Amino acid sequence: MRRRRGLPLPLILLSLGVIVLLVFIFSFFRSSPEDDAKELVESFYEYEQDGDFGSSWELFHPYMKERFEKSAYIQERNHVFVGHFGTDTFKYTVGEAEKLDNWKMEKNVSTLHEVYKVPITQTYKSTYGTFTIHQDIYVTKEKNDWTLLWSYQ
């Protein structure tokens, strides 16, 4: 009787190598929640920098959308930055995201869980000189979409 031989050792090693490589590639291209939060903040400020306040408003959490009607937000942002500051754009930097387990936008709203605090710095060169704004931006998931909030505490 003839014994059947198993898979040859080189084929087993090659298969294991391919599996390890696929796991490495998958983990390399998979972003972390901190990266996703930071990416949303960067998108928001790219829209703001381009004067596309309608698109930046779309990235707001529902609490923020309750606070600002879309058309009013578009008008006010344009009025403040172009009208009052005398500038039509700004430079910005986005810091590293920090996970917070619990956070509230303001006293009268529910506590949000798993929120990421992302510091930003905006620099304006205006008719009144150069000035800088430092602000913490908060990002959380709402119905599987990343959304943005500001603190009103």
Other Cβ atoms less than 10 A from the Cβ of 39: the count is: 16
Tens digits of residue pLDDT in 52-74: 999 999 999 999 999 999 999 99
Decide: 93 and 121 in contact? Cβ < 8 Å: yes
Q: Distance (Å, rounded) from C-alpha 128 to C-alpha 144?
A: 42
pLDDT digits (tens, 9 = 90+) for 96-121: 999 999 999 999 899 999 999 999 99
Q: Report pLDDT for 83.
A: 76
Weakest-pLDDT range from 18-32, 40-54, 55-69, 138-152? 18-32
- Could you tell me if 106 and 91 are in contact, meaning their C-beta atoms sit under 8 angstroms apart? no
Amino acid 5: pLDDT: 65
Maximum alpha-carbon separation in the chain: 95
Please compute the mean of the pLDDT values over residues 23-40 and round it to a whole number.
82
Q: Where are the domains of the chain?
A: 34-149
Between 91 and 11, residue with greater pLDDT: 91
pLDDT at 139 over 60: yes
Residue 132 has what pLDDT? 93
Q: Could you say which of 3.10.20.30, 3.10.450.100, 3.40.640.10, 3.40.50.800 is the CATH number of the domain covering 34-149?
A: 3.10.450.100
- Contact between 21 and 100 under an 8 Å Cβ cutoff? The reply is no
Check residues 149 and 90 and name the one with the higher pLDDT. 149
Average pLDDT, integer, range 13-25: 75
pTM reported for the whole predicted model:
0.78
